[in-house]
């Protein structure tokens, strides 16, 4: 047995059996099967499904919590971990191979450029963060806010969308407010009015989700940011659920700042987040975490990612996940998420004992659908799905089920869920 195989055995990584078969057989996962010239057929998507180590016979419907990682990405990460642990002594840190053995000190311009192309901005407007929560905090803690400044959230925030603003209210004496959102939200104008009802001349920040965590509502953020700009209000969007889920074009939206967790819909490894701050306003944001480059005036995105040592294999996996996404192609990927979401909703709409809490306005929704089934609690519904067909959506609150669909899911899997739900009527 060669040294590499021996290492894998002794490190007990065998539990990750599917991707590590590639090590045993010396096969490496590649992107070649995914190339754009393949047609967008059910066969193509069945092939995509095989790129994930998810077990056959089980269905993951909880991407809203965490995206699974493809074998291609896992392979790149595991190789990186093995490489730096075997080759540490051969790395010439000072002369260029530093990023191989640690992260947190380098600008990663290549990765940031790829990400900039996806969300339409310059790489210097992007910082690599651990996740959405970091993005919110870097913006909130970085702004020079004073007592009496009003900060506006909605009443549908995740903790990674409200925590910083509540903390700032307590610490600095800012006034914290929440706009009450409609449920279900089917009219963008109604949302717009709900937000601006709570805006006053003292409002300094509007911090709202681009996609609402619980319901999956795609908010009319462009319209809201345009109005906020007229009133001189700083806008920061919580896009934790967005990149890889819907098209995100930060310039078209016109927000001041935007953050996302790419370990969700972009299927990047855990700890892959981004923060965008528009170059015209970035000098309003102080660095929160400071190290060597905390004052870098040329590359503000780099200035805001002075995080110290992290996990270099995660950076490798992050870039591999972006390559995986780009190889399938943004439009094909996003259209498939939407197609599956619509397929699920169309099935649910036929059933009188189902109440859909998500938007049923197809312009305001994509891959997350949240619903209740008469006579069952959310946890009972989740349990029934698992016990009958090994399906794993996620219950939220007491009666709702949040059902996410992504490119690794199939219409057959959604049919199984619909059949179960139908039988409960």
Ligand X SMILES: Cc1ncc(COP(=O)(O)O)c(C=O)c1O
Using CB under 6 A as the criterion, which residues of the chain lie in contact with ligand X when the complex forms? Answer: 131-133, 158, 160-161, 209, 213, 238, 240-241, 261
Nearer to ligand X, 29 or 165 (CB): 165
The secondary structure of 215-244 as a DSSP string is T--B--HHHHHHHHHHTT-EEEEE-TTTBT
Tell me the closest approach of the beta carbon of residue 217 to ligand X, in angstroms: 11
Tell me whether residue 285 or residue 368 sits nearer to ligand X (CB atom).
Answer: 368
Q: Which of 41, 108, 45 is nearest to 272 (CA)?
A: 108
Written as six digits, the tokens of 43 are 């066969």
What is the C-alpha to C-alpha distance for residues 181 and 192, in angstroms, rounded to an integer? Answer: 9
Q: Which two tokens stand for residue 288?
A: 């929160």
70 vs 272, which CB is nearer to ligand X?
272
Instruction: Tell the smallest beta-carbon distance from residue 23 to ligand X (Å).
Output: 29
Minimal distance, residue 218 CB to ligand X, in Å: 12
Q: By C-alpha distance, which of 331, 358, 371, 131 is closest to 246?
A: 331
Using an 8 Å Cβ cutoff, are 274 and 118 in contact?
Answer: no
CB nearer ligand X, residue 332 or residue 402: 402
Comparing CB distances to ligand X, the nearer of 22 and 241 is 241
Q: In the complex, what is the shortest distance from the CB of residue 240 to ligand X, in angstroms, rounded to a whole number? A: 3
Q: How far is the CB of 129 from ligand X (least distance, A)?
A: 9
The 3-state DSSP class for residue 290 equals coil
How wide is the angle at C-alpha 188 spanned by C-alphas 187 and 194, nearest 5°?
95
Measured from the CB of residue 103, what is the shortest distance to ligand X in angstroms?
18
Token output for 183:
């449920």
Burial degree of 377 (CB within 10 A; 0-12, 13-18, 19+): middle
Which CB sits closer to ligand X, 209 or 312? Answer: 209
Shortest distance, position 202 Cβ to ligand X, whole Å: 25
In the three-class reduction of DSSP (H, G, I as helix; E, B as strand; rest coil), residue 153 is classed as: strand
Instruction: Judge contact between 368 and 216, C-beta under 8 A.
Output: yes
CA dist., res. 285 & res. 164, Å (int): 14
In whole angstroms, the minimum distance from the beta carbon of 362 to ligand X comes to 21
Q: Can you tell me the distance from the alpha carbon of 153 to that of 133, in angstroms, rounded to the nearest whole number?
A: 15
Question: In sequence order, what are the beta bridge partners of 257?
Answer: 236, 277
Residue 38's φ and ψ, nearest 5 degrees, are -70, 145
Q: Which is nearer to ligand X, 136 or 354 (CB)?
A: 136
In the bound complex, what is the minimum distance in angstroms from residue 261's beta carbon to ligand X? 3
To ligand X, the closest distance from the beta carbon of 46 in angstroms equals 28
Our CB check for ligand X shows the closer of 116 and 161 to be 161
Buried b (16+ CB within 10 A) or exposed e, 83-105: bbeeeeeebeeeeeeebbbbbbb
In this structure, what are the phi and psi dihedrals at residue 3, rounded to the nearest 5 degrees?
A: -65, -40
Residue 288's contacts (CB-CB under 8 Å, 6 or more residues apart) are 137, 138, 141, 142, 304
Residue nearest to ligand X (CB): 160
By C-beta, is 59 or 261 nearer to ligand X?
A: 261
Question: Whose CA is closest to 374, among 405, 352, 389?
Answer: 352
Q: Identify the sign of the CA torsion 173, 211, 235, 275.
A: positive
Output 45 or 60, the one with its CB closest to ligand X: 60
- Minimum distance of ligand X from residue 110's CB (angstroms): 23
> Token match 């407010």: residue?
177
Instruction: Give 116 or 160: the residue with its C-beta nearer to ligand X.
Output: 160
User: Which residue, among 315, 316, 324, has the nearest Cα to 406 in the 3D structure?
Assistant: 324
């Amino acid at each position: 047995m060669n040294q590499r195989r021996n290492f894998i055995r002794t490190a007990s990584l065998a539990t990750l059996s599917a991707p590590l078969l590639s090590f045993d057989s010396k096969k490496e996962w590649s992107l070649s099967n995914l190339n754009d010239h393949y047609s967008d057929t059910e066969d193509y998507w069945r092939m995509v499904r095989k790129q994930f180590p998810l077990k056959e016979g089980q269905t993951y419907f909880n991407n809203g919590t965490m995206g699974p990682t493809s074998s291609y990405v896992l392979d790149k990460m595991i190789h990186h971990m093995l490489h730096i642990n075997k080759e540490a002594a051969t790395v010439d840190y000072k002369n260029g191979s530093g990023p191989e053995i640690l992260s947190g000190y380098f600008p990663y311009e290549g990765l940031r450029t790829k990400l900039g192309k996806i969300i339409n901005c310059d790489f210097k407007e992007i910082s690599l963060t651990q996740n959405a929560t970091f993005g919110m905090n870097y913006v909130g803690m970085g702004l020079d806010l004073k007592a009496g400044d009003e900060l506006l959230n909605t009443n549908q925030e995740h903790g990674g969308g409200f925590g910083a603003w509540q903390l700032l209210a307590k610490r600095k004496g800012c006034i914290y407010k929440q706009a009450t959102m409609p449920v279900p939200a089917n009219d963008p104008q109604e949302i717009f009015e709900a937000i601006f009802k709570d805006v006053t001349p003292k409002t300094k920040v509007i911090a709202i989700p681009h996609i609402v965590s619980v319901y999956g509502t795609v908010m009319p953020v462009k319209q809201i940011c345009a109005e906020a700009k007229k009133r001189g209000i700083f806008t920061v969007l919580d896009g934790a659920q967005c990149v890889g889920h819907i098209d995100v074009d930060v310039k078209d939206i016109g927000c001041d700042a935007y953050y996302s967790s790419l370990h969700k819909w972009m299927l990047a490894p855990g700890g892959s987040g981004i923060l965008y701050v528009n170059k015209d306003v970035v000098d309003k944001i102080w660095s929160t975490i400071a190290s060597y480059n905390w004052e870098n005036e040329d590359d503000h995105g780099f200035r805001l990612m002075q995080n110290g040592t992290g996990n270099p294999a995660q950076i490798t996996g992050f870039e591999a996940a972006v390559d995986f996404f780009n190889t399938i192609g943004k439009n094909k990927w996003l259209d498939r998420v939407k197609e599956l979401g619509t397929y699920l909703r169309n099935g649910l709409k036929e059933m009188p004992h189902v109440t859909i809490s998500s938007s049923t306005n197809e312009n305001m929704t994509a891959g997350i659908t949240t619903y209740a089934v008469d006579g069952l609690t959310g946890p009972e519904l989740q349990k029934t799905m698992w016990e009958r067909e090994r399906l794993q959506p996620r219950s939220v609150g007491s009666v709702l089920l949040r059902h996410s669909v992504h490119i690794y899911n199939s219409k057959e899997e959604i049919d199984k869920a619909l059949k179960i739900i139908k039988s409960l009527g």
